[in-house]
Amino acid sequence: MHAPTPMPADVNSTHPASNAHNKAFLRQLLSQRNQAPSNAAAIDTAIAQAFVRDVAILVLDMCGFSRITQSHGIIHFLAMIHQMEQAACPAITGNGGEVIKQEADNLFAVFSTPEQALDAALDTLRALDAMNAVLPPERVLNVSAGIGFGPTLVIANEDLFGAEMNCACKLGEDIAVAGEILLTSAAYAALPAGRYACASSRYQVSGLTLDSHRFERCLYNRPLGP
């Protein structure tokens, strides 16, 4: 009889809340998984318990990077990114969201529901419209948005991984144009019925077929956002 393979240290131990969702803990578990493949199932369960949750993902992408940097320089565009964050962050937190990371001209946030993510995107567009009304043409701010919903590996304040994260990125960064909000099928299906009008569409990108829904209008009198 062979002795059972010992479990990797700390897989079943209790971790402080401050460490339970950070990248160091994830790396520790992944290292254990690589060193003890026979315990992969148990380690996968530990990773899922610590990091995976159902979230709505909002990906905001600033438009016009190449054109603006070529004509006005990178510092000008960085200042515009900062101004975009000033519009988006209050809209995100005001709708119950959490900004996870900001990379270059992209901003990533998570919410409990797709409705919150959509409302945050709408409030961001509204805030940008107000800014653009008083900005000179060379500083006009435009963003596109992608929204996904489903099980996602969330590393607190650092990163996101998952199929819906990938689809939201494709929609928000590669497909949506300025002022457009595209939702994955899963995000659209989880919206409350009768509140939003969306048009369905299908795209081919990076070898994927993406069925999505383009936000068109609210079907109710939506109050002003934060």
- Spell out the per-residue pLDDT of the chain, length 226, in tens: 444 444 444 544 444 444 667 889 999 999 999 999 999 999 999 999 999 999 999 999 998 766 777 777 788 878 888 989 999 999 999 999 999 999 988 999 999 999 999 999 999 999 999 999 998 887 888 999 999 999 999 998 899 999 999 999 999 999 999 999 999 999 999 999 999 999 999 998 888 899 999 999 999 988 765 5
Residue type, 93: T
Q: How far is CA 41 from CA 11, 44, 150, in A?
A: 11, 5, 21
What is the total residue count of the chain?
226
Q: At what angle do helices 65-72 and 74-94 cross, to 10 degrees?
A: 140
Is the CB of residue 5 less than 8 Å from the CB of residue 40? no
Phi, psi of 23 (to 5 degrees): -70, -30
Is the CB of residue 153 less than 8 Å from the CB of residue 29? no
Of 212, 15, 183, which Cα lies nearest the Cα of 114?
183
The pLDDT of residue 116? 98
The pLDDT of residue 87? 94
Q: How far is CA 141 from CA 64, 115, 170, in A?
A: 9, 24, 21
The pLDDT of residue 225? 52
Q: What are the tokens at 159?
A: 């990163």
